């Protein structure tokens, strides 16, 4: 996730493509977006949101984020649109509750949903948050500063097998067991409390030949800890079906994912959404079994060279988008 022009962070990733994909759904009722609702499920510093609100003076936007600092920045940034914006501090897997609280229904009530996943540029640049392995900071990594679990809690309290599982599952780290063993030995002497301490340990744990390829040796471990601290993948698994249910017919969803684990989840959910539920082998589509969605992208779209040069944080992005073409056959239960 990357946000905004100078003063608010970095330029939003694939902004023009997001606008092109979502605008047809947002202008179905009126060219200025009147009568349409866009849910920015990861509003961050408001870069994408600002463009949609400026382009469509009738659009209503509901922005969600778990980070209070992000919401403060967005509130300031979007002041001139305040009468059309509702900002809520919540995780994106609570979209249904957020819609209910804002007077919308949990099913078939919005015209567009945007997810810009991962850690934001603003969070990476706030060194005290501990997301970056390039600078020494507290081992925190919480997107919501009020969440109880920190990266320090994981590295100092999980047993060796649990640590290895986190690093392998969420970081796809092939040296997960070796790293976990080093962490356990180190913390028996003194707890790990700083990102710099963890980076030094990783240089010791990962063999020298492996450190010379595949990017920074701390990248996968830091990704794994961040995902575990913030429950990112499980939240995404819960959020996507709810977001699809929230769309009205002809409504659209766009998801920007930045690493393979996220994109795998999006790909699987979207594949199921566009599949027919008619049993294989039948010559005709059964009534009520047609696909509820169609894909708007062929596979995952990537940023072009010009964008990656302008904004290096867009290099890993994968964009997928769907459009609802049939009403939901059966509403899911939303907790």
Those residues whose C-beta lies under 8 Å from the C-beta of residue 81, and which sit 6 or more positions away, are 50, 53, 54, 61
Asked whether residue 170 is marked as a ligand-binding residue, the answer is no
Q: Which of 60, 55, 122 is nearest to 87 (CA)?
A: 60
Asked whether residue 326 is marked as a ligand-binding residue, the answer is no
DSSP result, 99-118 = HHHTT--SSS-EEEEEEE-S
Q: Which of 46, 225, 13, 231 is nearest to 130 (CA)?
A: 225
Asked whether residue 130 is marked as a ligand-binding residue, the answer is no
Asked whether residue 47 is marked as a ligand-binding residue, the answer is yes
Interatomic CA distance for residues 226 and 70, integer angstroms: 17
Angle of helix 219-230 relative to helix 160-171, nearest 10 degrees? 100
DSSP result, 294-325 = EESSSS-B---HHHHHH-GGGTT-EEEEEEE-
Asked whether residue 65 is marked as a ligand-binding residue, the answer is yes
Pairing state between β 60-65 and 37-40: parallel
What secondary structure letter does DSSP report for 23? H
Pairing state between β 247-257 and 110-116: parallel
- Which residues belong to the annotated binding site for S-adenosyl-L-methionine? 46-48, 65, 92, 116, 123
- Which residues belong to the annotated binding site? 46-48, 65, 92, 116, 123
């Amino acid at each position: 996730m990357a946000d905004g022009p100078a003063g608010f962070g970095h330029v939003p990733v694939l902004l023009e493509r997001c606008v092109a994909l979502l605008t047809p759904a947002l202008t179905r009722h009126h060219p200025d977006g009147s009568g349409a609702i866009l849910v920015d499920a990861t509003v961050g510093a408001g870069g994408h949101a600002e463009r949609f609100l400026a382009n469509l003076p009738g659009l209503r936007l509901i922005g969600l984020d778990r980070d209070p600092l992000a919401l403060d920045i967005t509130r300031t940034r979007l002041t001139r649109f305040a009468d059309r914006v509702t900002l809520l501090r919540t995780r994106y897997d609570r979209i249904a509750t957020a819609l209910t609280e804002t007077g919308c229904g949990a099913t078939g009530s919005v015209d567009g949903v945007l997810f810009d996943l991962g850690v934001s540029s603003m969070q990476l640049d706030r060194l005290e948050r501990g997301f970056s392995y390039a600078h020494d900071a507290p081992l925190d990594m919480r997107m919501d500063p009020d969440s109880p679990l920190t990266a320090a809690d994981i590295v100092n309290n999980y047993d060796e097998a649990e640590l290895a599982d986190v690093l392998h599952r969420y970081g796809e780290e092939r040296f997960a067991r070796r790293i976990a063993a080093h962490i356990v030995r180190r913390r028996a002497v003194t707890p790990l409390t700083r990102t710099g301490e963890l980076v030094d340990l990783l240089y010791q744990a990962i063999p020298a030949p492996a450190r010379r390829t595949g990017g920074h040796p701390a990248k996968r471990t830091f990704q794994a800890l961040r995902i575990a601290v913030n429950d990112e993948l499980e939240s995404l698994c819960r959020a996507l079906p709810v977001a699809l249910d929230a769309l009205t017919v002809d409504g659209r969803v766009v998801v920007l994912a930045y690493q393979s684990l996220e994109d795998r989840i999006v790909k699987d959910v979207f594949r199921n959404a566009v599949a027919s539920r008619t049993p294989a082998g039948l010559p005709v589509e059964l009534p009520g079994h047609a696909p509820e969605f169609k894909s708007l992208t062929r596979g995952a779209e990537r940023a072009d060279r010009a964008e990656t040069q302008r904004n290096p944080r867009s290099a890993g992005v994968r964009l997928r988008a769907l459009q609802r073409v049939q009403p939901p056959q059966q509403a899911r239960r939303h907790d």
